[in-house]
Amino acid sequence: MFKDEEQIVPSQRVLIFQQNGSGEQKIAGLRKYGGDQFEVEVFSIDEVLPPVLDDTSEYLPSDISCDLVLDFLKHQDISQDLVSLCAEKKVPIISSGKKIISKWVRTPPT
């Protein structure tokens, strides 16, 4: 590689799930400070939901393809099913402040 050539770093595909704008500040920060390092796709749920959801399939995609999922959802049932989907697809997920157990999820305190 020549000295003047820039090293090309492949971007990571990040899929972000949010509910009623719950991740907007983090999304803005990722876009501002991440530059071209990340391809960001946002999946928003902006409707009032019942306290318990037995079937979350209408709120989540049937398939995901990305390098990392960020979960800013407020509804615990949807978050739990999102973690299951990520585990099935072997995609790591970060669900801050949640109490979900899976080897595919990290739940750092907020």
Q: How many domains does the chain have?
A: 1
Can you give the CATH number for the domain in which 63 is found?
Answer: 3.40.50.20
At CA 107, angle to CA 92 and CA 24, rounded to 5?
80
Identify whether 94 is part of a domain. Answer: yes
The answer to whether 53 and 59 have CB atoms below 8 angstroms apart is: yes
pTM equals: 0.83
**pLDDT digit string, tens, across residues 84-105:** 999 999 999 988 777 776 666 7
Q: How confident is the model at residue 3 (pLDDT cuts 50, 70, 90)?
A: low
Q: List the domain range (segments joined by +) for residue 41.
A: 12-46+58-106
**pLDDT digit string, tens, across residues 65-87:** 999 999 999 999 999 999 999 99
